[in-house]
């Protein structure tokens, strides 16, 4: 059984179109308990997210998205946070990207960058593809900038800044988390 079919089947078991609160709670609990759900993305899917993450947030003077494990946050979020409905939609759209001919993974590095730039340029268009991309990008951005590496190196992080003071930007250097 492929993953997509598995999720479709699982959605039946969990009752994805549920409206009653009780079954939603059961669904959420089951998602936590199921060993299968914990495995998350396949290696191929994860590799793809890692590539996209580093195209959006590459290594510069600070670490890249994948160096901060942003792709693992996407994985965790999709498989633990999303409702079954959201997850199936997201993974389905993702598979369309992966299974396209040619698949994203088969493109050359520059073609990959190029295709992400095109998707990004169209991100407010509202097509299925760009909707998926927007959500993926959002998760990558959150996964990176709220990670310890992202917040403390790519941004400026001070958990106990003390009294508010006016400073020159040059004295701070970067944007505050």
Partner 1 sequence: MKAHNMDFDVIVVGSGMSGGIAAKEFCEKGYKTLVLDRGEPIEHGQYKTEGLAPWQLPYRGEVLTEFKLQQHIQKNIYIYNDFTKHHLINDLENPYEQKQPFIWYRSATVGGKSLIWGRQSYRWCEQDFKANKRDGHGVDWPVRYPDIAPWYDHIEPFVGISGSYENLPQLPDGKFLPPQSLNVVERDMKAKVEQAYPERKFIPARMANLSKANKVHTDLGRVQCQARSECSRGCSFGGYYSSNSAALPAAKRTGNLTLIANAQVQEVLYDDVACKATGVRYVDSKTGKSHSISAKVVFMCASTLGSVQILLNSKSTTFPNGIGNRYDILGRYIMDHCGGGGASGKISGYLDDYYKGRRPGGVYIPRFRNLENTLSIAKSTNNQTENGFLRGYGFQGGASRSGWQWAKNGQGVGVDFKAKVSQPGNWYFSMWGFGEVLPRFENRVMLHSTKTDQWGLPILVTDVVYKDNEKNMVDDMTATAVEILVAAGLEDIKGFEGYAPPGGAIHEMGGCCMGHDVTSSYLNKWNQCHEVANLFVTDGSAFSSTSCVNPSITFMAFTARAVDYADKQLKAGIL
Residues with Cβ within 8 Å of 164's Cβ and at least 6 positions away in sequence, in order, are none
Bridge partners (DSSP) of residue 156 are 176
Asked, as a colleague might, if the bond just before 145 is cis with ω within 30 of 0, I would say: no
Q: Which of 8, 116, 129, 131 binds partner 1 (CB under 8 A)?
A: 116
Interface segment toward partner 1; rule CB under 8 A; list 7-15, 18-26, 39-47, 91-99: 18-26
CA angle 28, 29, 34 (to 5 degrees): 105
- Binding to partner 1 by residue 109, rule CB under 8 A? no
Interface segment toward partner 1; rule CB under 8 A; list 33-41, 88-96, 101-109, 121-129: 121-129
- Binding to partner 1 by residue 110, rule CB under 8 A? no
- Binding to partner 1 by residue 160, rule CB under 8 A? yes
- Binding to partner 1 by residue 141, rule CB under 8 A? yes
Q: Which of 24, 46, 88, 98 binds partner 1 (CB under 8 A)?
A: 24
Residues with Cβ within 8 Å of 42's Cβ and at least 6 positions away in sequence, in order, are 3
Q: Rounded to whole angstroms, how far apart are CA atoms 73 and 41?
A: 11
* Structure tokens given for 37: 């759900």
What's phi and psi for 176, nearest 5 deg?
-70, 140
Q: Rounded to whole angstroms, how far apart are CA atoms 40 and 6?
A: 12
Looking only at residues 52 through 71 of this chain, which bind partner 1 when binding is defined by CB under 8 A?
55-58, 60, 62
Q: What is the nearest approach in angstroms of partner 1 to the Cβ of residue 96?
A: 21
**Binding-residue pattern over the window 28 to 57 for partner 1, x denoting contact by CB under 8 A:** xx-------------------------xxx
Q: Are 106 and 63 in contact, with CB atoms under 8 Å apart?
A: no
Task: Give me the residues that bind partner 1 (CB under 8 A), please.
Answer: 21, 24-25, 28-29, 55-58, 60, 62, 73, 76-77, 80-81, 83, 113, 116-117, 120-121, 123-124, 134, 138, 141-143, 145-148, 151, 154-155, 157-172, 174-177
């Amino acid at each position: 059984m492929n993953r997509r079919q598995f999720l479709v089947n699982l959605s039946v078991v969990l009752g994805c179109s549920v409206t009653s609160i009780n079954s939603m709670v059961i669904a959420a609990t089951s998602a936590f308990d199921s060993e299968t759900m914990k495995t998350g993305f396949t290696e191929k899917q994860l590799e793809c997210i890692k590539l996209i993450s580093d195209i959006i947030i590459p290594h510069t003077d600070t670490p890249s998205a994948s160096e901060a494990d942003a792709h693992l946050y996407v994985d965790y979020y999709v498989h633990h946070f999303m409702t079954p409905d959201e997850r199936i939609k997201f993974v389905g759209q993702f598979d369309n990207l992966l299974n396209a001919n040619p698949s994203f993974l088969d493109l050359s590095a520059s073609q990959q960058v190029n295709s992400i730039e095109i998707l990004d340029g169209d991100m407010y268009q509202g097509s299925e593809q760009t909707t998926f991309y927007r959500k993926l990008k959002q998760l990558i951005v959150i996964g990176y900038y709220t990670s310890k590496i992202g917040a403390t190196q790519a941004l400026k992080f001070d958990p106990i800044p003390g009294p508010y003071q006016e400073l020159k930007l040059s004295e701070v250097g970067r944007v505050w988390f």
